[in-house]
RNA sequence: GGUCCCGUGGCCGAGUGAUCAGGCAGAGCUCUGCAAAAGCUCGUACAGCGGUUUGAAUCCGCUCGGGACCUCCA
């Protein structure tokens, strides 16, 4: 089997994945800032890295997956009016800051659950690690790479850059960064424009504040990830993930802080997912083009003609490669909805074929077909190993769909393929669809009583049809259709049904 | 202004030197009491121009268009 290759943002190329400690993987992913509702754009990294998490486990690694909750509310970093997003919003909503944080954390977890993402092994909060952050800042100061000004602490980027390659991750030149092309307020405390805050003194009206050796204040945005990653994954860990927009300054700063504090670069493989765009433009608050997850699930948005099941969104995201931009539209989502249904129907047909497994032979009557199927399935692994190419895995699955449906319709005899290939089909579809890609059924029909009622109606309809009483049979089918239940007369005389 | 990325058939989207991506939509056919589903067949796409090469959507150059980061951002 081929080995896993990961595109490392740091080296800008695919590298063979070799964990620092054989058999174990430490992975850190930047989590959400819970000052507001999550939107479609937020779904991408968490679904992407959920698949990474699942695949690494599938490969047999023991993975510790850490994803933080940013609940500390920072300044508009180095900017404008000193404003704490979380506390100012809390005043508007007349909530305690932590009440607001809790509300959006709950909402985030609710959505992640609907997406069928596996919860991280550890989900630390920034406010729960103030002590660790302060300790880290103290160490950086002791090493002489940070300085205090009016109760705030800044990281000395120029000094760091003299001995380290600051800017390598984000492809920036330190000279350009030091040039200070922009005039922003609140910069006068910093020695260089490129410096970033490790700790900020809290203005009087700032609600979230903690005691520190430098007075009351709150941590800078970047330090929380460094502190929590170090605490739970050690000074050097395997994978750090996040959105591309975090590459600079967030991840660049993380590298600098951790390198000074821990004496080594923190991360072996940096992974960045690309953005979801809408009409070609990044989805984001500042662009005013976000579609919240609640709106997506309810269909309550001007750009949407209908509600979309969370699995459709997950499937939509997995149909593209994580490093490409993904353009959202109502039309694209509808296409995904139909595609997912077709794929899942075939998967269910495949499972039902087990009832006919006695027909199988050890050797395939159609070796060419048999070989083709095996190749398509072997490639699942090849594609995933090539930097998690879920799009190609799904494409191959779709190539198998007509074959599965033909086996079911008996257009292709089960003897055409070998028993081993049949078993492999069963196994690979289950493993990939459910275990690795994390897809689930979108059907709402998992109800015993409904199933029994449907069985009854199907019996009555069968009887009606057998005596050519099409008025009755059509009535049953049409009435059910208006309720949203579709009956399908199969070729073999069976009747299947599905809830829309 | 600086750095970087992208431009694939009606839509979404893989692919990065020669071979079929795939999904959705559309057309035709088969099956069927009808319908739905399913199956089969069909589009000869790679922004434009020039170059390298036996051969380029894929490499190089230029032009046009779009975007990201440089400020909170997934």
My answer on whether omega of the bond before A68 falls inside 30° of 0, hence cis, is: no
pLDDT of residue A76: 33
Q: Are A38 and A32 in contact (CB under 8 A)?
A: yes
Buried b (16+ CB within 10 A) or exposed e, A50-83: bbbbbbbbebebebbbbbbbbbbbbbebbeeeeb
Give CA torsion, residues A371, A424, A426, A309, to 10 deg. -80
Q: Tally Cβ neighbours within 10 Å of residue A207.
A: 16
Q: Are A61 and A273 in contact (CB under 8 A)?
A: no
User: Phi then psi for A464, rounded to 5 degrees?
Assistant: -60, -45
Positions 11-40 in A, CB within 7 angstroms of strand B: 30, 32-33
Q: Are A235 and A157 in contact (CB under 8 A)?
A: no
Enter the CATH code of domain A328-436: 1.20.120
Residue ranges per domain, chain A? Answer: 5-273, 328-436, 448-499
What's the Å distance between residue A490 CA and nucleotide B32 C1'? Answer: 9
ipTM of the complex: 0.96
pLDDT in tens, chain A (500 residues): 579 999 999 999 999 999 999 999 999 999 999 988 999 999 999 999 999 999 999 999 999 999 999 998 653 332 334 456 677 676 666 667 888 889 999 999 999 999 999 999 999 999 999 999 999 999 999 999 999 999 999 999 999 999 999 999 998 888 888 765 445 545 678 888 889 999 999 887 677 889 999 999 999 989 999 999 999 999 999 999 999 999 999 999 999 999 999 999 999 999 999 999 998 899 998 888 999 999 999 999 999 999 999 999 999 999 999 999 999 999 999 999 999 999 999 999 999 999 999 999 999 999 999 999 999 999 999 999 999 999 999 999 999 999 999 999 999 999 999 999 999 999 999 999 999 999 999 876 667 888 889 989 999 999 999 899 999 999 999 999 888 888 988 877 788 888 87
Positions 333-362 in A, CB within 7 angstroms of strand B: 334-336, 338-339, 342, 345-346
- Provide the H-helix boundaries in A20-146: 40-58, 85-93, 97-114, 130-142
Beta-strand pair A196-201/A217-219:
antiparallel
Q: Are A86 and A142 in contact (CB under 8 A)?
A: no
| C-alpha–C-alpha distance, residues A332 and A352, integer Å | 30
How far is C-alpha A492 from the chain's CA centre? 41
Q: Are A114 and A180 in contact (CB under 8 A)?
A: no
pLDDT of residue A90: 66
pLDDT of residue A92: 64
DSSP characters over A394-441: HHHHHHHHHHHHHHHHTSS-GGGSBHHHHHHHHHHHIIIIIIIS----
Which secondary-structure segment (H or E) carries A148?
strand A146-149
Query: Over the Cα atoms of chain A, what is R_g?
Result: 27
What's the Å distance between residue A58 CA and nucleotide B14 C1'? Answer: 24
What's the Å distance between residue A320 CA and nucleotide B20 C1'? Answer: 19
Q: Are A259 and A169 in contact (CB under 8 A)?
A: no
Closest CA to A366 of A420, A399, A412, A400: A412
Which residues are bridge partners to A91 per DSSP?
Answer: none
Q: Are A274 and A7 in contact (CB under 8 A)?
A: no
pLDDT of residue A94: 62
| C-alpha–C-alpha distance, residues A311 and A309, integer Å | 5
What's the Å distance between residue A497 CA and nucleotide B3 C1'? Answer: 56
User: Phi then psi for A445, rounded to 5 degrees?
Assistant: -95, 15
pLDDT of residue A279: 87
Positions 375-394 in A, CB within 7 angstroms of strand B: 389, 391-392, 394
Which nucleotides in chain B lie less than 7 Å from some protein C-beta? 1-4, 11-15, 21-25, 31-40, 66-74
Q: How many residues does chain A have?
A: 500
CATH top-level class for A5-273? Answer: alpha beta
DSSP assignment letter at A29: E
Strand B atom within 7 Å of A44 CB:
yes
| C-alpha–C-alpha distance, residues A303 and A289, integer Å | 10
Q: Are A457 and A473 in contact (CB under 8 A)?
A: no
Which nucleotide is nearest to A338 if distance is taken from CA to C1'? B24
Q: Which two structure tokens, joined as six digits, stand for A383? A: 């594609």
Closest CA to A26 of A64, A53, A67, A59: A64
What's the Å distance between residue A422 CA and nucleotide B37 C1'? Answer: 23
Q: Using alpha carbons, list the distances in angstroms from residue A121 to A36, A68, A223, A288, A312.
A: 24, 11, 21, 34, 26
| C-alpha–C-alpha distance, residues A272 and A9, integer Å | 7
Q: Tally Cβ neighbours within 10 Å of residue A243.
A: 21
Q: Which two structure tokens, joined as six digits, stand for A353? A: 């074929």
* End-to-end Cα distance, chain A: 40
pLDDT of residue A80: 33
């Amino acid at each position: 089997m081929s080995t896993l290759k990961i595109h490392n943002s740091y080296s800008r190329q695919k590298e063979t994945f070799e964990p620092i400690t054989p058999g174990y993987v430490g992975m850190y992913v930047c989590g959400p800032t819970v000052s507001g509702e999550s939107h479609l754009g937020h779904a991408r990294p968490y679904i992407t890295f959920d698949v990474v998490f699942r695949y690494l486990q599938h490969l047999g690694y023991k993975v510790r997956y850490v994803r933080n909750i940013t609940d500390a509310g920072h300044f508009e970093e180095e900017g404008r009016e000193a404003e704490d997003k979380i506390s100012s919003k809390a005043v508007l909503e007349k909530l305690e800051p932590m009440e607001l944080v809790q509300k959006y954390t709950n909402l985030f977890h609710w959505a992640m659950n609907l997406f069928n993402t596996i919860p991280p092994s550890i989900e630390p909060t920034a406010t729960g690690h103030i002590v660790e952050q302060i300790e880290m800042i103290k160490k950086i100061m002791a090493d002489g790479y940070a300085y205090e000004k009016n109760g705030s602490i800044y990281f000395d980027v120029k000094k760091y850059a003299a001995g380290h390659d600051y800017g390598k991750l984000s492809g920036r030149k330190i000279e350009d960064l030091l040039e200070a092309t922009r005039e922003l307020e609140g910069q006068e405390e910093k020695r260089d424009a490129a410096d970033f805050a490790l700790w900020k003194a809290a203005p009087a009206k700032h609600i979230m504040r903690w005691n520190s050796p430098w007075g009351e204040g709150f941590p800078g945005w970047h330090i929380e990830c460094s502190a929590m990653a170090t605490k739970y994954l050690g000074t050097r860990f395997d994978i750090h993930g996040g959105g591309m927009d975090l590459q600079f300054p967030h991840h660049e700063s993380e590298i600098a802080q951790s390198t000074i504090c821990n004496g080594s670069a923190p991360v072996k493989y940096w992974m960045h997912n690309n953005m979801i765009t809408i009409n070609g433009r990044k989805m984001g608050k500042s662009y005013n083009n976000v579609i919240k997850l609640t709106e997506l699930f309810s269909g309550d948005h001007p750009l949407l003609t209908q509600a979309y099941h969370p699995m459709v969104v997950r499937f939509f995201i997995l149909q593209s490669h994580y490093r490409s931009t993904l353009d959202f539209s109502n039309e694209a989502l509808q296409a995904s909805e139909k595609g997912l249904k077709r794929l899942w129907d075939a998967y269910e047909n495949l499972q039902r074929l087990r009832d006919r497994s006695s027909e199988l032979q050890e050797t395939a009557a159609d070796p060419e077909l048999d070989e083709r199927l095996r190749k398509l399935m072997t490639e699942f692994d090849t594609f995933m190993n090539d930097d998690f190419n879920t799009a190609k895995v799904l494409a191959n699955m779709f190539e198998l769909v007509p074959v599965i449906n033909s086996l079911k319709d008996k257009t292709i005899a089960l003897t055409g393929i070998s028993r081993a290939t049949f078993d492999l089909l069963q196994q690979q579809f289950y493993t990939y669809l459910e275990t690795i890609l994390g897809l689930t059924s979108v059907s709402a029909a998992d109800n015993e009583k409904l199933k029994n009622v449907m069985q009854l109606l199907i019996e009555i309809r069968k009887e009606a049809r057998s005596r050519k009483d099409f008025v009755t049979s059509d009535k049953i089918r049409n009435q059910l259709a208006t309720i949203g239940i579709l009956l399908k007369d199969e070729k073999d005389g069976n009747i299947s049904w599905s809830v829309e």
